[in-house]
Homo-oligomer: A and B are copies of this chain.
Amino acid sequence: MHTAVSLGGVGMTRFAADAGDDVRTLLERASTRALDDADVAAAELDGVVVGNMAAEAFEELSGLHNALAASLGAHGAQADRVENTSASGASAFQRGAQAVASGAADTVLVAGGERMSAASTETATGVIGSIVHPEEYVHGVTLPSFGGLAADAYLRRYDAPYEALAAVASKNHGNGARNEYAQFQTEVSVEDAADSPLVADPLRLYDCCPTSDGAAAVVLRAGDKGEVVVRACESAVGTHAVADRDDPLEIASVRTAGERAFDAADRERGAVDVACIHDAFTVLELLELEELGFYDAGTAWRAATDGGTALDGSLPVNPGGGLKARGHPLGATGVSQLVELVWQLRGEADGRQVDCETGLAVNVAGFGNNAVCTLLEGAA
C-alpha cells in the first residue's frame, strides 16, 4: 500500500438474536462509538464505507451508507457500501484501507452491520443459499450441508474424535462468556456440545454459528502513527463450486489470502500472537488454521483439545467468542473481528486479554469462494 493506514478507533453493538432496531440504527450506534473512541468528529471523515450483505432483501433498505453519512453528519464524504456475502465486513475494511492507501481519503469510517432477524426464514434461506454455486444449491446443498460434509471428511481422514469439534465450540463459548458484546455469554462444556441436537451430521447445534443482529465500526487514518497499524489486508476468490475443488477440505481462498497478507506485511506465521478465525462451523476454524499455515493438515484439532488455541495457549484463537459465541450478523462479522483485535492489541480486552503485538483476522465468504485476511500490529 502506497500510504500507511492506522486504526484510530473502534466500537460495536452487542450482537443479539433480535436487536430490536433496524440496521441503520445499529450502524449509527457502532459508528458513534468508534468515532468517540478515535476522538474524530464525523465532519472530519472524508470516507464512509458500509459492509452489509442483504439489507435490500432482509429489510427492504438500500443506500445504507448515504443514510449513515447523513445521520452522523459526515457531509461531503466519499461513501459507498461493499458486499461480499458473509465477508462483507472485511471487504468493506479493505475498500476503506485502499481508499486511504491510494491517497483518495485520509480519515475513513468503516461500519459493518446486518439485521438478520428482520428477514423471513424463507427470504433468509433463499438469499443466503444463493451464495452457494447454483448447480450445487439446486440439489439442496446449503452452507450447513457443506459444513457437515467437510466435518465428516475431516474427522474420518485424520482419525479425530467428534469431541475435537466440540472442543472448539466449548473454547469459543468460554471466550464469549468473557465478552460483554457477545450474543452468547454462557459457558458450554464439551459434553453439552456433544449432547446438542444434530444439524448436519456430524455437526450439532453448538458447532454452528447463530443468526444475529449487530454492527461494528472502525476509523481508519492515513499514516503509521496510530496505536494499531494495518500491515496488510489481502483477499482472494477461491473455487466457487465445492465439487470443483481438488480436495473437499481445501479452502484455496483462505490459503491465498493468507499467503498474500504475510507476503505484503513481510511477516512470518510465528509473528502472529492472536487470531480471529471465521468459525461459522467449528470445523472451519480447524481447516482455516491449517490453510493459513499455523498447523499442518490434520493437526489443528489437537490444538483445540490440548488447549493450544485457548486464551493461555500458544496461539489464542477467537478470544472474543468467534462467530460461534459473539454471533454472526453477516456484514458486521469481519469488522467485529478487527474490533476485537484492536482491543487485544491495546490491552483493553479485560477478562480475555492475551499477550499480543500482532493479530490476524480471516473473514470468509460462502463456503470459501472468497476470503479476506488482515494483519494488524500494535504500536512497538
Q: Using CB atoms and an 8 Å cutoff, list the residues of chain A in contact with chain B.
A: 1-3, 48, 53-54, 56-58, 60-63, 65-67, 69-70, 74-85, 88, 91, 94-95, 98-99, 101-104, 123, 126-128, 130-131, 133-134, 234-241, 252, 256, 365-366, 369-370
Contact = CB atoms under 8 A, between A and B. Distances in A.
Nearest to A90: B80
A232 to B, nearest CB: 10
Contacts of A94: 78, 80
Contacts of A82: 80-83, 95
11 contacts: A62-B127, A63-B85, A66-B85, A66-B370, A78-B234, A79-B84, A79-B235, A81-B82, A98-B104, A99-B102, A102-B103
A1 B102 contact: yes
Given A1-B104, A102-B1, A102-B2, A63 B84 contact: yes
B76 A80 contact: no
A240 B78 contact: no
A218 B369 CA distance: 23
Interface of A is mostly: mixed
A58 to B, nearest CB: 8
B63 A366 contact: yes
A80 B83 contact: yes
Given A56-B57, A57-B56, A63-B369, A133 B102 contact: no
Given A53-B62, A369-B63, A84 B76 contact: no
List the 6 closest A-B pairs by CB distance, nearest first. A70-B240, A56-B57, A101-B102, A102-B102, A2-B2, A80-B91
B102 A63 contact: no
Contacts of A104: 1, 98, 101
Contacts of A75: 237
A62 B66 contact: no
A83 to B, nearest CB: 5
Contacts of A65: 84, 237, 370
A78 B79 CA distance: 20
A366 B74 CA distance: 17
Contacts of A60: 57, 123, 126-127, 130
A88 B88 CA distance: 16
A70 B103 CA distance: 31
A131 B256 contact: no
Nearest to A58: B56
Given A80-B88, A102-B102, 14 more contacts: A54-B56, A60-B123, A60-B126, A60-B130, A62-B128, A62-B130, A63-B83, A63-B85, A65-B84, A80-B82, A80-B84, A80-B94, A80-B235, A82-B95
Given A2-B102, A84-B80, A62 B70 contact: no
